[in-house]
Structures are given as structure tokens and as C-alpha cells.
A and B are shown apart, each in its own frame.
Chain A
Amino acid sequence: GENVEQHPSTLSVQEGDSAVIKCTYSDSASNYFPWYKQELGKRPQLIIDIRSNVGEKKDQRIAVTLNKTAKHFSLHITETQPEDSAVYFCAASKVGSGTYKYIFGTGTRLKVLA
């Protein structure tokens, strides 16, 4: 079945350094890849997303890259700040296919050390 693998499960970085989280998906028909941030005790919230017709997307300190051939996509956070500490989830889905669901990765707990 469909599967999304996410690595690493935990990541600690010094404030100001960059953080990279990687995901691999199994279904080559997937065409939409969102990233969600979940702060402790809160609900997941969308921070950035990318569609399969785009290779990279940036939003201030956050960027996502997609390699369709390898079925990989990654989240890049630059100049990390303590408020970036959270659990990050990647997901994959097939928009427009009639399949209306997201498959999530297992999450990455990011700790930004001051």
C-alpha cells in the first residue's frame, strides 16, 4: 500500500543552524506534498506544501524540495530559532485522482538549542 517514510525521527540543532528533514513516498502517482508543524499539545498546522510540477518552493526561512524521479522530498529550515522546536510531519496525496486522503510520515521531533 501507500507509504511515506520520514527521517530522522529526532533532530537537534544549535540556534541559527539549518535543519533538514527528508521523506520518501512509495506511490509514484502522488502529486501533492504538504508539511505540517505540531507544537507540543497543539494541532498540526500546514507550514508549506509543494506540487509535483514544481521542484522547489520557498517561504522565508522554510523551503521544500521535490525529486520526483527518486520519490524524495525534503524540508529545509534555515537560521533556526527556538520557536521552530516542534514535531514536523510530511505527507503525500494524489489530488485530482478521486482518492481524497493524505498519508503521513511518522514525524520528526526538532529541538533547537539556544
Chain B
Amino acid sequence: NAGVTQTPKFQVLKTGQSMTLQCAQDMNHNSMYWYRQDPGMGLRLIYYSASEGTTDKGEVPNGYNVSRLNKREFSLRLESAAPSQTSVYFCASNDWTANTEAFFGQGTRLTVV
């Protein structure tokens, strides 16, 4: 039981490049989330997926897109990376009907130069 797995763990991009952050959970959770963590800003919600087939914007969605590929997987895409997107990205999941605890992945440290 791996929990929530994110790939990659580290990434350096040049401004304007695109990339996709992958997230998979093996806990059969309905809901999945993408957060970014910046110093002094806490964890800010980018997008979330309440259940398979649905996605919604969070607090800071600009510059990102997401895909809920299936119940297990939720990806985050940066179409044209900007230095302001340098951050640590966390994926999380939970099942509101069973247990409200959110489980986090190990994080992806992204640097845009």
C-alpha cells in the first residue's frame, strides 16, 4: 500500500516549457487535490477533483490544467511554465464518505528558470 505517489520528485524547467506532474493513489479515494506550497503562503489549492469525472478550480488555478484520468490518477499540467510557478507541489486524496483525513504525496520540487 503505497498511499499517494507523485512523479517526478524534482524538476527544472526553462520558462515557456511544458510538463505534467503525475499523481496516483491506491486507497480507492474519491477526491483528489493539487496544492502548491510557497514560503509564508502555506498550502494553496490549485485544482481539485471531488470524484472521478469532475474537476474544479481552487484558489490559484491560473496557468494550470488538470485531468482526472481515472479514479486513481490526477495529473497537473503546466502549459507554459513561468518563474512564478517555482514551488513545491503536493497531491492529496481522501474519501469524504469514509474518512475526512487527507493523505499527501511526497511532493514535487519544481524550479522554473
Q: Which residues of A contact B (CB under 8 A)?
A: 1, 6, 9, 32, 34, 42-46, 49, 89, 91, 93, 95-96, 100-107
Contacts and interface: CB of A to CB of B under 8 A. Distances in A.
B58 A101 contact: yes
Contacts of B107: 43
Nearest to A100: B50
A44 B51 CA distance: 22
A80 to B, nearest CB: 22
Given A44-B90, A95-B96, A101 B48 contact: yes
* Nearest 5 CB-CB pairings of A with B: A106-B42, A100-B50, A43-B104, A104-B43, A107-B42
Given A34-B100, A104-B44, 19 more contacts: A43-B90, A43-B105, A43-B107, A44-B43, A45-B104, A46-B101, A89-B43, A93-B100, A95-B96, A96-B96, A100-B31, A100-B50, A100-B96, A101-B58, A102-B33, A102-B102, A103-B45, A106-B41, A107-B43
A38 to B, nearest CB: 9
